[in-house]
Amino acid sequence: MSAQRACGVAELEQDTPLRVELDGVPMAIVKDSDGEIHAIGDTCTHGDISLSEGFVEGKMLECWAHGSAFSLCTGKPLNLPAYEPVPVYAVEIDGDDVLIDPTVTKEV
Provide the binding-site residues for ligand FES, judged by CB under 6 A: 44, 46-47, 49, 63, 65-66, 68, 81-82
How would you classify the pairing of strands 69-71 and 18-22? Answer: unpaired
Closest by Cα among 3, 40, 45, 1 to 20: 40
- If the CB atoms of residues 65 and 73 are measured against ligand FES, the closer one turns out to be 65
| Shortest Å, Cβ 62 to ligand FES | 8
| Shortest Å, Cβ 77 to ligand FES | 8
- If the CB atoms of residues 79 and 103 are measured against ligand FES, the closer one turns out to be 79
Peptide bond just before 81 cis, omega within 30 deg: yes
- If the CB atoms of residues 47 and 58 are measured against ligand FES, the closer one turns out to be 47
Three-point CA angle 47, 49, 50, nearest 5°? 145
Q: Minimal CB distance to ligand FES: which residue?
A: 47
Three-point CA angle 65, 107, 20, nearest 5°? 45
| Shortest Å, Cβ 49 to ligand FES | 4
